[in-house]
Amino acid sequence: MTKAILYSLLLSVAVVSQVPAQTKKPAPKKAISTPANASKPTSTTLATSDPILMVVAGENVPKSEFDRVFRKNNKDSVFTETSVREYLDLYINYKLKVKEAESMKMDTSETFKNELSGYNKQLAQPYLTDKDVSENLIQEAYERLGKDVKASHVLLKVNPDALPKDTVLAYNRILKIRDMIMKGADFGKVARDSSEDPSAKENNGELGYFTGMQMVYPFETVAFNTKPGTVSMPVRTRFGYHIIKVLDIRPAQGEIQTAHIMIRIPKDANDSLVKASELRMNEVVQALKNGMAWDSAVTMYSEDKGSVKKGGELPWFGTGKMVPEFEKAAFALKNKGDRSGIIKTTYGFHIIQLLDKRGIPPFAEKKAELKQLIARDSRNEASRLSMVTKIKKAYKYKETPKAKDEFIASLDSSVTEGEWDLSTADKFTKNIFSLTDSNGVVTNYTQQDFAKYVSTHQTKRTGNNPQAIGYSMYDQWVGDAVLSYLEERLEKIYPDFRNLMREYRDGILLFDLTDKMVWSKAVKDTAGLEVYHEANKNNYKWAERCDVTIYTCADAKVAAELRKGLTKKKKTAAEIVAGLNKTNASAVTTRDGKFGHGENEIVEAAGWKTGLSADVVKNNMGHIVDVKSILPPTPKTLEEAKGVVTADYQTYLEKTWLQSLHDKYSVKVNNEVLETMWK
């Protein structure tokens, strides 16, 4: 639970100290309205229709603020006088605590600022992407999961930072290759001879079947939009230019769960070693035919260490996740429990058993997973670029190409090594681009700003052209700068975001201060805890208990000998038990304890009477209970009641602290405005 989320809890529980002290701070809950759902920009000046509900420690609290927070934290409540007044008391306490944190300058510490900044970055993300584009990408990805595409390709490598002239050369080359194929050349032979994908020498450029989210986005898009039997126009990815021949498009196979037994083929194995592995697998087949259980065969034979302990079970997989031979054999199995023959892959020989099959989950179930995958995928760049374009238009982006080209022309080969020196750009101070807000305020971005970006973002890119690197970094810098420009203004533009950031700010302060004044203090203040316990010890009492020793006997003969020894009392109980356990170490076991009514079924069956009980049979075992004494109700020691005493002490600290805040700060409620909340 985070500090910021705790804010909501602190406002929705009647006693703040019921929330335990936290020791960890996971990432904040990402519950935020996106720009499409956010409130429209409004003036920060309160309208006359928004009266002041109360003044807390000199701060005006408008009715709209309280109304918004009440609705957010009481979704199922109606506006009754009781519910509103109860929540008002909580909100006043919350306001007082935040005011106290501010008076202690807790909001000025670097730790606080860094934590709030981290939340700001995370919560701003939905506002910095184009929601419509993102939703379309998710829907598109889901639709593509419903199909499997089988394709071959030819690749000509082109560096992402290649100069336009080099890009054109590669494009023209792959066009010629496509033209050869369109005139009748065999695609596989052309791939072997021309493709710069190393695997093409072995597979003729064939990639097998794949589904959505398994290829880089531009390649995937062209593959899914090319008719079977045809060859696409060139498509560029980060690897270079491709032409794609789609061989087949079929409905998706869904996902499958299997178990397998594997006999490995050693690396660089000669024919005799391969034959030895195959003979070993034949032994497995025969053992299964002779009735050996699957799990036993896995344990005895399988050389896949990762799956042996799970009966050979493998994770669920779909198209393109396994080597083709394994995938084909697995999906050919029809019914649960069906097994394949011996399958050979590059890893070894396998026998596959079908455990289960399933189709593509409904969109509602898959949406969250796809959203996360897209956020880490290159296709997310489409949403980012769309947003950058919108911001540029909204804030009148104006570029000075001459200043851009002048600086980029100055970059030398050191930038390809990631060793470019910022001091070499001291003379570059011209404006490169500007953004203008609705009030006409211009923000300029200079050559020096870009130089600092190059200095901090450069990496080794040996073989690349310095100017090509410069133009590539320029586009990235502009995008980052434009998004940062909007991010800095989100609180002014979107009331929802402003309110949320205020809640997170106050939530962090509230957490830290409450921890200091209540939670940690209750744990660390041992002297105060002892004083509190002593003053309230009668609130922490043991109920009536009996002090007993329970003897559990192996059989009736042992029980009789034990009872005889305990009755005569010529030896201590320990000596009697030791004697009985000489020949059988578990003839008699003992348990000492103090039990209240109903806490132990053996003690209850024996009856609460001092002395030895009659034989008690429970759980197919015989027991004798020695009730030493009946203990009257007595106060628990601090150690015995520490958990509940600490919780009560926190409540006490909370109550006294709140009283001190009410004494320190003034609170004035406008009851006429308050009454309009429920009338």
- What local confidence, expressed as pLDDT, does residue 48 receive? 54
CB atoms within 10 A of CB 44: 9
164-184 pLDDT tens trace:
888 999 999 999 999 999 999
- What is d(CA 594, CA 599) in angstroms, rounded to the nearest whole number? 9
The helix (H) or strand (E) run that includes residue 83 is helix 81-103
- Write the single-letter amino acid at 670: N
Contact 35, 131 (CB under 8 A): yes
- What local confidence, expressed as pLDDT, does residue 41 receive? 37
- What is d(CA 532, CA 647) in angstroms, rounded to the nearest whole number? 11
* DSSP label of 321: S
Alpha helices in 581-641 (DSSP H): 601-606
Q: Is residue 21's pLDDT more than 50?
A: no
Average pLDDT, integer, range 317-331: 93
Of all residues in the chain, the percent with pLDDT exceeding 70 is 93
- What is d(CA 118, CA 133) in angstroms, rounded to the nearest whole number? 26
Q: What is the mean pLDDT of the chain?
A: 90
- What local confidence, expressed as pLDDT, does residue 39 receive? 40
- The residue with tokens 């670097």 is 110
Average pLDDT, integer, range 440-466: 92
Of the pLDDT bands very low, low, confident and very high (cuts 50, 70, 90), residue 344 is very high
The full DSSP string for 248-296 is EEEE---EEEEEEEEEE--TT--HHHHHHHHHHHHHHHHHHHTT--HHH
The two beta strands, 588-596 and 545-553, are antiparallel
Q: Is residue 317's pLDDT more than 60?
A: yes
- The residue with tokens 């203040």 is 525
- What local confidence, expressed as pLDDT, does residue 266 receive? 87
Average pLDDT, integer, range 357-385: 91
Q: Is residue 33's pLDDT more than 60?
A: no
Sheet architecture: strand order including 240-251: 206-210, 147-157, 240-251, 235-237
259: tokens are 């178990």
- What local confidence, expressed as pLDDT, does residue 671 receive? 95
Of the pLDDT bands very low, low, confident and very high (cuts 50, 70, 90), residue 49 is confident
261-308 pLDDT tens trace:
999 998 888 999 999 999 999 999 999 999 999 999 999 999 999 999
Q: Is residue 26's pLDDT more than 50?
A: no
- What local confidence, expressed as pLDDT, does residue 14 receive? 31
From residue 490, give the alpha-carbon distance in Å to each of 34, 39, 68, 247, 426: 11, 12, 19, 49, 33
78: tokens are 């109606």
- What is d(CA 463, CA 483) in angstroms, rounded to the nearest whole number? 31
- What local confidence, expressed as pLDDT, does residue 224 receive? 97
Of all residues in the chain, the percent with pLDDT exceeding 90 is 82
Angle at alpha carbon of residue 160, lines to 159 and 163, rounded to 5°? 75
Q: Is the dihedral of CA 632, 633, 638, 644 positive or negative?
A: positive
How many Å is the maximal CA-CA distance in the chain?
111
pTM above 0.85, yes or no: no
What long-range pairs does 156-161 form, CB within 8 A, spacing at least 24?
156/194, 156/195, 156/196, 156/240, 156/241, 156/242, 157/196, 157/239, 157/240, 158/236, 158/239, 158/240, 158/241, 159/463, 159/464, 159/468, 160/238, 160/472, 161/461, 161/464, 161/465, 161/468, 161/469, 161/472
Q: Is residue 452's pLDDT more than 70?
A: yes
Nearest to 457 by CA among 130, 161, 127, 157: 161
529-564 pLDDT tens trace:
999 999 999 999 999 999 999 999 999 999 999 999
127-156 pLDDT tens trace:
988 888 999 999 999 999 999 999 999 999
86-104 pLDDT tens trace:
999 999 999 999 999 999 9
Contact 174, 194 (CB under 8 A): no
- What local confidence, expressed as pLDDT, does residue 201 receive? 94
217-260 pLDDT tens trace:
999 999 999 999 999 999 999 999 999 999 999 999 999 999 99
Average pLDDT, integer, range 76-84: 85
Q: Is residue 55's pLDDT more than 70?
A: yes
- What is d(CA 387, CA 336) in angstroms, rounded to the nearest whole number? 49
- What local confidence, expressed as pLDDT, does residue 79 receive? 85
Contact 29, 123 (CB under 8 A): no
CB atoms within 10 A of CB 644: 12
Average pLDDT, integer, range 454-476: 90
> What is residue 434's three-state secondary structure?
strand
In the chain, what are the domains?
A: 147-251 (3.10.50.40), 255-358 (3.10.50.40), 395-490 (no CATH), 544-632 (3.10.50.40)
